[in-house]
Each structure stands twice: as C-alpha cells, then as structure tokens.
Amino acid sequence: MSDPLYKEELRHFISAVLDEDVGNGDLTTQATIPADAILKAEMNAREEMVIAGIDIAARIIHAVDSAIKLDILVSDGIEVTTGNTLMRLEGNARNILTAERSALNVLQHLSGIATLTRRYVREIEHTNCKLLDTRKTIPLYRKLAKYAARMGGAVNHRMRLDDGILIKDNHIASVGSVINAINAAKKYGTSASTIGITVECDTLDQADQAVKAGADRLLLDNMSTEMLRQAVAEYSGKVKLEASGGVTLETIKAIAETGVDYISVGRITQSAPAIDIGLDYIV
C-alpha cells in the first residue's frame, strides 16, 4: 500500500495543516494545562467506517511531539465497527490536545471518502464493472482524496489534465464536431495516456461517430439504462465504456448491470460526509 504523498509533500501538508489550526500557539491549553501533565487517550470509532489516513493522523501528532507514544491498532482500507479503538496515545497533555483536532480532521475526512466509496463498490461487486473516482476534489487535497477512494475500493481515474485526453462537450462545440476533435487529438498524440482518446457522448449518435473516428473509450454521460444497454450491445469489445452523470447509490447497481466497463462517480470525493471519530481521554 503506497503512501498517498511523497515524503516532501507530506511534510509540507502536515506543516500547513498545523499552521492553519495552531497558529502561534494553543492558548487555551497553555493557559489551563500544566506543562508537565501526562495524558492517556484513545481514538475511537463512533460509527462503522472504512479507515483511510490513520498513518497521516499519527504523523501529525508526532509532528507536534515525537515523544508521544502511539499504538496504531488499525490500517487503511479495513472496516471497523462502532466502538473500535483505532489508536492509543500517551504523552504530554498539552501536545496531545494541540494535535487532536488536526489529526482527527484528516482522518475523519479521508475515512468518510473511503466509507462512502465502499458503499458504492458493494452495489456493483456482483458485476465486472469498476468504480472510478473523478477530479471533483477539494483543491490541493486531490492526492489524499483519491488515495481514500482507492482504500474504499475505487480505481483512480485521471489525477490531472495531463493524464490523458478526455474530449468533452465543450471541446466538441469549440471545434465543430466529434470527428474534428478526435482527429485533432490523434495528431497531437496520446502515447503517455492510459485512457487513450476518451470522448464524452450524450447520445448514441455521438457514440457511433466517436467509435468510427477512432476513439478508444466512450464516456456515456447521463444516458438511460436502456441507452447504455444499446451502447454495450453495439460497442462492447470495440471500445471501453464508462457511464457517468448523476450516479447515486440507488442507481449504480442498475447502471453496472447494463454491462459497462466503468462507472465514474464524483460524489465519492466531492460529497462524502466526515466520519465520526472521537479522542477519548483515559482518567
């Protein structure tokens, strides 16, 4: 399981997180807690979840105080139930209290993404369809969000615009036709792309034009399940087929059962609620 950020990226991220939350110091803690006080605490799940970001949370705590003793009891990608202890801590009370919110924020947000993603994955696991994430992420948080989606069972789609050519409706409108857009993409070259030339299609007529012009993959946008079945019957084996647009937990199963290869869902990174995790102090 690879780290979501390179070492230097992680250092900058943690530094920015703590600068944002701590500022020039935790005034309340400094004012009320003796400097030599020792605290024991447990980080506990308050609802069922899929873990993502536990090591980052630990590194945030150690960035405040490397002497704090941590016992990490879970790993990213596993499911836990309400009441499970995720981590035990012991050390300087001031520093644990100062690090608490930043560590929890990251773990709650990333675990929220992983948990929602797993719910979507479960709806389609009886098919050969794969769940894809999208670029709908909080700015500067994309690598972490996509890591969390991966922990939930999704397959990462394009990380950035330089990861492949995806011709969308505005590109087509700008150059006049699907054929013009694909021809221009072919001349430009896509040797570094893992998705080849992907074309967003709103209609089956656009899909037919895209296939005939040499697209490698079709992004079937907001199509009905009947239209998706028609596209699968006509183009499966010729190009990869990806369904997208307004996909929900209630609709994804029927979409996957049409036979498409992929379903991309922006909600898993854009709208996942934070998971409830608490830091409970042991007296």
Which residues does the annotation mark as catalytic? 101, 136, 168, 200, 221
How many angstroms separate the CA atoms of 227 and 232, rounded?
Answer: 9
| Cβ-contact 249, 92 below 8 angstroms | no
Among 62, 78, 82, 80, which residue's Cα sits nearest to residue 70? 62
Enclosing H/E stretch for 80: strand 79-80
Which residue has 């019957």 as its token pair? 233
Cα 139 to chain centroid, rounded = 13
E strand or H helix at 165: strand 165-167
- Dist CA 48 CA 80 (whole Å): 6
Helix axis angle for 225-235 and 204-213, nearest 10°, is 20
